[in-house]
Chain A
Amino acid sequence: MKSLKNHFSLIIALFTVLFSVQIYVAVDRTIKAYEEHLKNDYSIIVVSNKMLSEAEFKALDNLIERSETIATDQVLERLKGEMSKKNLDLLKVTLPKFYRLYLSRFPTPQEIEKLQKRLQKHSAIERVEGYAQTHDTVYKLMLLFKDVVQIFSIAIAAVTSMLIFKEMRLWQFQHAERMSIMALFGAPVWLRSAVLFRLAIVDAIIATIAVCGAFFIIDQYGWMDKVLQTVGISIELFDFVDDAVRSLVIALGVSIVLTLTIVIGNTEEE
C-alpha cells in the first residue's frame, strides 16, 4: 500500500509536468494556426501612380508573397451617369492603381513598419496602408498569452521536479538498507541503484500513458475543437505519435536525471 502510494506520488508529479508541457505545445500550435489564419486575412493596401508587377513588389521585400490588383471598374461604374464617356476614359487613365499585397507569413509589428517604409520609398507608390494599429494589438495579445502559458508551464515543471526529487529521496531512504547490504558484498553503484531506476522508468511510462489517455478523452469530448472553431481555427490537440514520444522522452529524462542526481549524491556521501 505504502509502495503504491509512492508510485502514485511520482506518477502524478510526472503527469503534471507532461500535462503542462502538452498544454504549452497545444497553445503554441493554436497560436501558429491563428497566425496562419491572420496571415491569410491580412493584406497591405498600396496605391501607385503606375502599373506595378508582382515581380516588382517581390523585389522590394521577400516578405511579399503575392500581389493582387484591386479593380476600379465598380467605382467607375457608379460614376457613369454623372460623367461623360470622354471624362470617364480620362479618369480611367489617370486613376491611381490599387494593389492588395499578401505576405508569406504573419509579420511582427516591426516588420510591417519596415515593409511600409520600403514601399513608400518606391517612386511610383503614393500611399501604403498597413492597418498596423489593429494588427499590433492582436499580435501583442497573442504573444502575451503565449508568454503567460510558457511561464506557467515552466513554474509547474520546476515545482513538480522538486517534488519528484523529494519523492525519490524518500525512495532512496526506503531502499538504503538494501543498497548498503549490497555494497558490503561489492555491488557496483548501478546494480545497487537498479531498483530506483526500474521504478523511475516504470512510473515514467505509466505517466506517459496517463497523459495520452487524458488528451484522448479531451479530444474525443470535442469541446476544445468547438472553442477553437469559433475563432476559425482547427488544430490537432494531441498527436498520438509525435506528442506521445515527446512525453515519454521528457518523463524518462526527468525521472532518470533526478535518479542519477540522487545516486551520485549518495555515492559522494559514502
Chain B
Amino acid sequence: MDKVITAENLSLSYKDFETIISKATFSIDAGSFVFITGASGSGKSTLLKSLYGAIEPQGGQLIVGGVKMNKISTSKLNFLRRHIGIVFQDYKLIKEWTIEKNVMLPLIISGYTKDVSSEQVQKLLGHVKLIHQAGKYPPELSGGEQQRVAMARALAHNPILILADEPTGNLDEYSSEVIWNLLEGANTQLKTTIVVVTHHIPSSINVPYKHFHIEMGTVHEIA
C-alpha cells in the first residue's frame, strides 16, 4: 500500500529549545484513519504541525505526500498544502469573510472557477447543515458551527490528507458527531487519509484505525 506519510528517525524541536519528538519512525498508509494521542505537552500538535510544514524537522527524515519536508522550499510547501485539508481546534476562519467564502478558500487558492467552487461549497454546507448560514460571518456562529465550517473548508478541494488538531475539543455533542461523521465519510467514501490529534479516541468511531501514542518524546504504535 502507498505511504502518505513516512518518518524516519524524525526529531522535532522549536529552534534552540529541547527536543519534543525524538527519533520517531513510523508510516501512514494512504486511505487510513489515524489517531495520535498523548498527554498535554507531549508533542502531538508539534508532530501534526510538522506534517503541514509549520515546523521543520531538526533531524531524521519526513516525507508527506511524496514531498520531503526537510528544508522544503516555499513553492513546494504551498503545493503540498494545496493538497492537504487542516482542521484546527481554534477553527482559524477568516472573520471578515462570509461562511461561503471561507469554505471556498482552498478552491480560490487552487484556481477553481467560481461556478465549480460555488457548487462544491453549496454541497459541503449542506453536508455540515449550515446552508442557511452561508451569508453570515464567523463571529455570528457558535463554536460548533464554526468548526463545522472549518471541516467543510478542509474537505472543499478533495484533499489527499486531512490533518485535524483536536477538532472536537471545544464542541457540544451534536457538533462533535457531525465532525466525526464527516471525517469517517471522507475516509470511507473518498479514501482520504485522516490524521487526528486528540486526547481521547471517541467510542462511536466506526472505521478501522491506527493509533499512535506519544510519551516522553517517543512515538509508539498501539496495536
A-side residues, CB < 8 A to B, are 177-178, 181-189, 191, 267, 270
Contacts and interface: CB of A to CB of B under 8 A. Distances in A.
Contacts of B80: 186
Interface string B184-221: 00000000000000000000000000000000000000
Contacts of A187: 78, 109
B106 interface: yes
Interface in B76-96: 77-84, 86, 92-96
B113 interface: no
Given A184-B81, A186-B78, A186-B106, 6 more contacts: A177-B95, A178-B94, A181-B105, A182-B105, A183-B78, A184-B92
Which label, helix, strand, loop or mixed, suits the secondary structure of the B interface? mixed
Interface of B: 52, 54, 74-75, 77-84, 86, 92-97, 105-106, 108-110
Contact of A184 (B74, B86, B110): B86
8 contacts: A181-B93, A182-B109, A186-B78, A186-B81, A186-B106, A187-B78, A187-B109, A188-B75
A191 B105 CA distance: 11
A182 B97 CA distance: 12
Contact of B52 (A178, A184, A191, A270): A184
Contacts of A183: 78, 81
Among A182, A185, A188, A191, the one with the most B-chain Cβ atoms within 10 Å of its Cβ is: A185
A163 B108 CA distance: 33
Contacts of B77: 186
A177 B84 CA distance: 20
B86 A188 contact: no
Contact of B109 (A177, A178, A185, A270): A185
A267 B74 CA distance: 9
Contact of A185 (B54, B82, B95, B96): B82
Contacts of A182: 94, 105, 109
A186 B74 contact: no
A15 to B, nearest CB: 27
Nearest to B85: A185
A27 B81 CA distance: 56
Nearest to A180: B92
A191 B92 contact: no
A189 B110 CA distance: 14
A241 B83 CA distance: 49
